[in-house]
Structure 1
């Protein structure tokens, strides 16, 4: 019976099926991609690192550190740094990451080179492996030469990929691999130069990496070195991309939640139209259980079918994710179809179909056989409140469990469910208040069609409450998603860079500053910034040194605070990217006075310090005592030089330091000319052309925006289906009323006006309330989740509000289309 009835009602069940399919497709595609990403990270963790584990240190290892490194017998070692390279063939210059390697690296994975043997012979030949894209860009071929600092050596091969490189970092600073024994000849590792020493190891089958970390990390921390195993790399990468997955999961859940609302609306229409049929079945002897099971089997079967179709679509969608996200991933993702998300999609389709249809299905249990003989379409028996409360409780438990599974945070899951309940309550309250206000101030002197439209909003059997809640909820979820998208994308917005510094010259030694300034002036450019940099480390805070902080677990100071080499500066003013949060900024101090410094809020949080606390710095072997005078909020999203620690003038002028210069090159040609001139005279300096950075960041942002908009597409389409289903709930009632009006002599034009005004009011009220609630929701997300300033967009008000109102109007008018084209008697017979 369930099969026969479903075949006869397949068009009516289309909305129900579509709501399930889209929600399941969004969830399954995200889950499949997450599983594939985790498996790839786990399987490729050794190849990503190139070894089982490594030790890295950002300075030349001291005697104790070198003893620890040597005792473990490294297989290979590397020193890497960023520098300008020159191609003598055509004078081309480019910022590159120089990786000077000694030994058979990588231990796992491989360097992909052309010719293939270049990866194993470059050290013996004393040549360089250069990024393949960089060679194409400057028309360099194997056999040509490359100049790194003061060292000129032949290009022995092009490098396509190697462990430790990603597409994004290679775009900014392409890799250049040279033999380590030639590093001294470059003369680039001078005072202030950023460099990293790495030592690569191969473990035995008995190696316990957890025990290795517990044993070595305290010893290496004391020498300012770090241990990184392939298992810790796997965990770290997993956490990094898990955050991205959580956001996409949340977006998919919004699509699924909209689908749940669509299920409830669609089944409500369907079951309401079947109540007379059920009454007839009961007259013929069908039991309550039989009539209930007929439609429960239908709904459950469609839920499983929707899960299968949604899973199939999810598979197709997730196949495209690796191509979209390849710029963000340091490895290629191999897609395999796992069974778990597919089974999960089918089970989820079954659960949400039955759970959100259960309230309407309960009506079939309480249908009286007498309803088949009565003219009224209302049941003589109502569903008991206790049964309704049980269903509502099940729905709330489902929402909590599902949101907890996605967010992995009990408080967030509770807040999400409470927020949805509050949203429902507000929408229901607004709908009730609307009815009461219209009834209280009903305009009796207005025209007939206007009065009839307003009467429809508060008379018995009205649809105002159901429609405003459904329309408002759909609009709320879609608008929240749009506002959230704006928050996420604004975090990485670049802004207009015209007229700002687009060339930054770093690692400028004090004796080189004047000459480089003259070179910039000779190229008709002006110095925008001349920033002195002093390197230092934190020796102690409030009298607690690094080793004491390690032993005292109550302090909860982040390890990097003591290990990090801070590059600080001094000036007498704050810049546009800085905002004072606490304390007072001191622009200048006299010799012998207490030294008040300003620190960024992230350092204050990590070091657990506040205004008035003491910090002692180790400045190139000299201890300097300071006090925290102020805490700043720094906008790190701006592409300019920002600092964690800022000194006033009058303190660091005589400290060992180097300089950063910046200027603006009006054209690409002038930028290239300046780079060639500076690098030729001063090979130790590094020049960053921000034009390339802007291009890369813009490309990344466009991909991020595409992904977010792509996932939002699910929610918008599902939301439209929900709105269609919700508005169509009133079809049966409006057809009878319109037929009655036509029988009494109303013209088609009058009926159109009555219907149009009613649905336009419902659409405007529901969508406006939904957008306003979304505004509050997005503000809370910005403050407590993303911790970003929220600037609301006007798009939902000027696009969503009229678009949804017109959509509701169109669906409402389509409900009575048949009434206007047929005779009243024909319609009544068809409806019966």
Structure 2
């Protein structure tokens, strides 16, 4: 019976199967692609440092540190230091960071040079790679020479960008790269010279977290440090973790959209089968038999749909790299894992049966007497069964969302949000029917009255379609709003409002002249920040000199020798957030001084709010108290400070200024630097354009991933919505045929349907978008921890677009009625 009935209803069941296939295909493809992209993005993040991990030391490694370094067998090494170089061609001189490299670094990514092969040939040719902007500034080209200390080397090429150049804090000068074997010949490294040693490792299979945990404390004691590519990625905020969360969210929403299609399709299908079930009961079929007939149908279609959807999902997985290769500047390595494939088939079967159970239980309570009159509501005895099925659906959704989100609280909140959305939409549908019924416009035109009657009379589709349209729009809009949240996070901020040129050591009497130089080069001053240098004299009443010799002190040694560059201001900046204490913006004369410190400094210095710190401000001791602790996003390419004083304290202290600007091209940057070096030899210049190139390259890949997967899921949702509305055609065929038989014109029937679907489309999509605003705000605050600025696109595009789509599909549903005889249509409907 299940097979025979399915053959007779194959068109309607194919629509039901389409919802399963689309939902499962989206889930499988997104899950597979999510796994591969997580691995690929992590692999791409290695290009930020060019290696899997680095061990560095500010001095020649101690014997113990060197033993650790050698035991791990470095694949490349470097010594770098700041020094003056000269260009014999024109006599120009410049303070640069000389990097003496040995080995095939970088292991991930590549140096961007001009000519292209310069990054691989400079070692063998024994030449130098010089910062591209610096070459423009001094009018030198590849083939010219550069004098580094006691040796002169040919310039092999210009360096545009390089992995491992994102350490802004140490970039006080443009880079010049030479082979390590020439470092000794330069005679620049003498006793007491400030230098840094770095050892690069390529170890893709090693457990970096365990390695860092085991050897970092030992290296710290030897004034060395280990830095892994995963920790470098983490310092960029939550850009990478959020991509995984977003893709999981997209998979969950895709499945829910499929489930919406399943539930709405089966509800209408079973509703029309109640009379046939009553006939079976009259012929002696038991409750169990009539129930199993349709359960077997749904389970079989769910299994077939799950298999087809899984195959399509795996096929899409193979196609994605080809579809995206024009947009993604990296190759995606595809690996098909078995878990999502098995999950896809099982989800197809399980979700089909689960979401079909609610309408299926109506078959259990159909009475043989219903042959004569099929009631709109089922027997009251089904209330308990309905409650059990709803509970099973909620538990299953929670378990599935927990599997995806890996967080019990977030999974509960998300399922709760879906339930609330469903309840609101159902409430809006019920309320709409009551309002229309109570305030029915009896004097309206025939077509308008008929359309409004369709909203609440028996066999109406208001509840089913409003919930389907509203829930679908809610999920699609939530996905779009979430996409915007993540894309805002992946913006580096390299715009005219954010600085990419920083000038250091500008003396107070030079500020106006430097600002004038900016304007002469058609550049605007973005920031003018005062800096005061100081050292810590005592922490919590213990002198720094005492702490240096105390082996039991829980304070990182770098703090005791570090010269801090601090500033003063009366407000927080965008990259800061108070996590403890209270921000003090200004202090009156003779009041106790309260400062704000970064959370990493508080951890390393082992201090908290209320602890005293005495600073040595160029010979003058200043007593302060920690007033607040700030969380600082060091990943933002801007000037951030570990220590910030309130206004009213440091204004008269010896200080220098930092001025920043934005240069849109390397020519503008070179021209400004040339003028500044000529007029102000004491001023140091940091060009962040090279850093932006590396970071933007990686984050642009993340943006494309987010965009593509979001719109793929949105397209899936729209197709499922089409299926849901399309399935409703069988509820209106008989009414339309009867109207036509009674003399209604085709134009009137079209108007009746258009008004009904227009009202359902507008109301459902509007409520869905408004609910999506609320849910996206919650996701932004509690899951992604990002600010939420809602887009107008859902209101300007989704609202009219989905409404038009609903009207179009609704009108297409009755196309056969208008172009066929009433008898022919009724026979097909049966």
TM-score (norm 1): 0.78
Q: Which residue of 1 aligns with 2:724?
A: 726
2:799 paired residue among 791, 795, 801? 801
1:478 paired residue among 468, 476, 479? 476
Instruction: Work out whether 1:69 is the aligned partner of 2:68.
Output: no
Q: How far apart in 2 are the matches of 1:578 and 1:563?
A: 26
Q: Map 1:63-212 onto structure 2 (within 5 A).
A: 66-72=62-68, 74=70, 77-80=77-80, 99-101=99-101, 122=123, 127-128=127-128, 144-146=144-146, 152-155=152-155, 176-179=177-180, 182=183, 185=186, 196-199=196-199
Q: How far apart in 1 are the matches of 2:421 and 2:9?
A: 33
Q: How far apart in 2 are the matches of 1:475 and 1:11?
A: 26
Q: How far apart in 2 are the matches of 1:137 and 1:512?
A: 22
CA-CA distance at 1:423 after TM superposition: 1.2
1:570 paired residue among 549, 567, 570? 567
Q: How far apart in 2 are the matches of 1:44 and 1:705?
A: 14
CA-CA distance at 1:340 after TM superposition: 3.4
Q: Map 1:225-624 onto structure 2 (within 5 A).
A: 225-228=224-227, 241-273=240-272, 287-288=289-290, 289-290=292-293, 292-317=295-320, 324=327, 326=329, 334-363=333-362, 374=372, 376=374, 384-491=382-489, 497-498=495-496, 503-506=501-504, 529-534=527-532, 568-571=565-568, 573-574=570-571, 577=574, 583=582, 585=584, 587=586, 594-599=592-597, 612-616=610-614
Tell me the secondary structure at the aligned position of residue 72 of structure 1: helix
| Cα RMSD after superposing both structures | 5.7
Count of equivalent residues: 812
For residues 389 and 663 of structure 1, do their structure 2 counterparts lie closer, same or farther at Cα, with a shift above 3 Å needed?
A: closer
For residues 134 and 358 of structure 1, do their structure 2 counterparts lie closer, same or farther at Cα, with a shift above 3 Å needed?
A: farther
CA-CA distance at 1:257 after TM superposition: 1.4
For residues 318 and 631 of structure 1, do their structure 2 counterparts lie closer, same or farther at Cα, with a shift above 3 Å needed?
A: same
Structure 2: gaps (5+ residues):
none
CA-CA distance at 1:761 after TM superposition: 1.7
1:38-66 Cα shifts (integer Å, max 9, x gaps): 66799999999888975324x336xxx62
Q: How far apart in 2 are the matches of 1:184 and 1:619?
A: 39
For residues 474 and 540 of structure 1, do their structure 2 counterparts lie closer, same or farther at Cα, with a shift above 3 Å needed?
A: farther
Tell me the secondary structure at the aligned position of residue 12 of structure 1: helix
Q: How far apart in 1 are the matches of 2:551 and 2:773?
A: 45
For residues 136 and 640 of structure 1, do their structure 2 counterparts lie closer, same or farther at Cα, with a shift above 3 Å needed?
A: closer
Q: How far apart in 2 are the matches of 1:145 and 1:390?
A: 82
CA-CA distance at 1:621 after TM superposition: 11
1:351-386 Cα shifts (integer Å, max 9, x gaps): 323332333444556666777x65759798788334
Q: Which residue of 2 aligns with 1:737?
A: 735
Tell me the secondary structure at the aligned position of residue 334 of structure 1: coil
Tell me the secondary structure at the aligned position of residue 626 of structure 2: strand
CA-CA distance at 1:138 after TM superposition: 12
Q: How far apart in 2 are the matches of 1:93 and 1:632?
A: 40
CA-CA distance at 1:411 after TM superposition: 0.7
254-263 vs 712-721, which moves further = 712-721
Q: How far apart in 1 are the matches of 2:20 and 2:302?
A: 11
Q: How far apart in 1 are the matches of 2:154 and 2:216?
A: 40
Q: How far apart in 1 are the matches of 2:697 and 2:212?
A: 38
Q: Which residue of 2 aligns with 1:767?
A: 765
Q: How far apart in 2 are the matches of 1:424 and 1:182?
A: 70
1:618-657 Cα shifts (integer Å, max 9, x gaps): 7799985422346678787976434342224676689897
1:189-243 Cα shifts (integer Å, max 9, x gaps): 99999x753245899x9x9998875664334334553235799899999997444
Structure 1: gaps (5+ residues):
none
Q: How far apart in 2 are the matches of 1:23 and 1:551?
A: 60
Q: Is the 8 A contact 1:84 1:683 kept in 2?
A: no
TM-score (norm 2): 0.78
1:756-813 Cα shifts (integer Å, max 9, x gaps): 2222222222112111111111222233333343333333223222222222222222
Q: Is the 8 A contact 1:366 1:382 kept in 2?
A: no
271-280 vs 291-300, which moves further = 271-280
